[in-house]
Chain A
Amino acid sequence: MDNLYVIKGQIQQVYAKYSKFIDKGVQFILALAVFYMINHDLGFMSLLSNPLITVGLAVICAFLPMIVTVLAAAVLILVQMAAVSLGIMAVTAVVFVIMFVFYVRFSPKTAVVILLMPLAFMFHIPYVIPVAFGLVGTPASVVPVICGTVVYYMIDYVKTSASALESGGAEGMISQVMTYLQQVFQNREMIVMILAFVIVLFLVYQIRRMSVSHAWKSASAAGAVAGIVIVAAGSAVLDVKVSYPELILGNVAAVIVGLILELLFFAVDYSRTESVQYEDDEYYYYVKAVPKIVVAAPEKTVKRINRRAENQETEIINTDEIRRKSAESAGAKEEGEKKPNKTGSSVRSRSPRKKESRITGNMDQLLLTRSLQKELHLDEEERND
Chain B
Amino acid sequence: MLDKRKIRLMTKLALYEQNEGREDMKISAYYKKDYVSMKMIATFIWTTIGYGCAMLLVLGWGMTGWMEKLTLALIIMLVAVILLGYLALLIITFIITSRISNRKHRDARMRMKRYNHGLLQLMKMYEKENK
Residues of chain A having any CB pair with chain B under 8 Å? 91, 94-95, 97-98, 100-102, 105-106, 174, 177-178, 181-182, 185
A205 → chain B closest CB, angstroms: 20
Stretch at the interface among B58-66, B70-78, B118-126: B58-66
Q: Give the contacting residue for A94; candidates B56, B64, B93, B96; CB below 8 A.
A: B56
B50, CB-defined interface residue at 8 Å: yes
Q: Are B47 and A178 in contact (CB under 8 A)?
A: no
Closest residue of B by beta carbon distance from A107: B100
Q: Give the contacting residue for B61; candidates A98, A100, A106, A181; CB below 8 A.
A: A181
Q: Give the contacting residue for A101; candidates B47, B61, B65; CB below 8 A.
A: B47
Q: Determine the distance from Cα of A105 to Cα of B60 in the docked complex, in whole angstroms.
A: 25
6 cross-chain CB contacts under 8 A: A94-B57, A98-B53, A101-B47, A102-B93, A105-B46, A177-B60
List A contacts of B54 (CB < 8 A): 98
List B contacts of A101 (CB < 8 A): 46-47, 49-50, 53
- Contact string against A for B residues 93-123, beta-carbon threshold 8 Å, 1 for contact and 0 otherwise: 1001000100000000000000000000000
Q: Are A97 and B50 in contact (CB under 8 A)?
A: yes
Q: A91-B57, A94-B56, A181-B57 are in contact. Are A102 and B64 (CB under 8 A)?
A: no
Q: Are B50 and A178 in contact (CB under 8 A)?
A: no
Q: Give the contacting residue for A181; candidates B49, B50, B60, B100; CB below 8 A.
A: B60
Q: Give the contacting residue for B49; candidates A91, A97, A182, A185; CB below 8 A.
A: A97
* A91-B57, A101-B49, A101-B53 given; 9 more Cβ-contact pairs under 8 Å: A91-B60, A94-B57, A95-B53, A98-B50, A98-B57, A178-B61, A181-B60, A181-B61, A185-B57
Q: Determine the distance from Cα of A106 to Cα of B65 in the docked complex, in whole angstroms.
A: 35
Closest residue of B by beta carbon distance from A182: B61
Closest 6 CB pairs of A and B: A101-B50, A181-B61, A94-B53, A101-B46, A97-B53, A98-B53
List A contacts of B46 (CB < 8 A): 101, 105
Q: Determine the distance from Cα of A249 to Cα of B39 in the docked complex, in whole angstroms.
A: 46
List B contacts of A91 (CB < 8 A): 57, 60
Q: Determine the distance from Cα of A257 to Cα of B58 in the docked complex, in whole angstroms.
A: 38
Closest residue of A by beta carbon distance from B54: A98
- Contact string against A for B residues 28-65, beta-carbon threshold 8 Å, 1 for contact and 0 otherwise: 00000000000000000011011001101100110111
Q: Give the contacting residue for B96; candidates A97, A98, A106, A181; CB below 8 A.
A: A106
B53, B54, B56, B63, most chain A CB atoms within 10 A: B53
Q: Determine the distance from Cα of A99 to Cα of B53 in the docked complex, in whole angstroms.
A: 10
Q: Determine the distance from Cα of A100 to Cα of B47 in the docked complex, in whole angstroms.
A: 10
A94, A97, A102, A178, most chain B CB atoms within 10 A: A102
List B contacts of A181 (CB < 8 A): 57, 60-61
List B contacts of A102 (CB < 8 A): 50, 93
- Contact string against A for B residues 15-32, beta-carbon threshold 8 Å, 1 for contact and 0 otherwise: 000000000000000000
List A contacts of B65 (CB < 8 A): 182
Q: Are A95 and B57 in contact (CB under 8 A)?
A: yes
B64 → chain A closest CB, angstroms: 5
Q: Determine the distance from Cα of A297 to Cα of B61 in the docked complex, in whole angstroms.
A: 58
B65 → chain A closest CB, angstroms: 8
A338 → chain B closest CB, angstroms: 71
B52 → chain A closest CB, angstroms: 9
A19 → chain B closest CB, angstroms: 14
Q: Determine the distance from Cα of A181 to Cα of B60 in the docked complex, in whole angstroms.
A: 7
Q: Determine the distance from Cα of A98 to Cα of B52 in the docked complex, in whole angstroms.
A: 9
List A contacts of B61 (CB < 8 A): 178, 181-182, 185
Closest residue of B by beta carbon distance from A96: B53
Q: Determine the distance from Cα of A182 to Cα of B65 in the docked complex, in whole angstroms.
A: 10
Q: Determine the distance from Cα of A106 to Cα of B94 in the docked complex, in whole angstroms.
A: 12
List A contacts of B93 (CB < 8 A): 102
List A contacts of B57 (CB < 8 A): 91, 94-95, 98, 181, 185
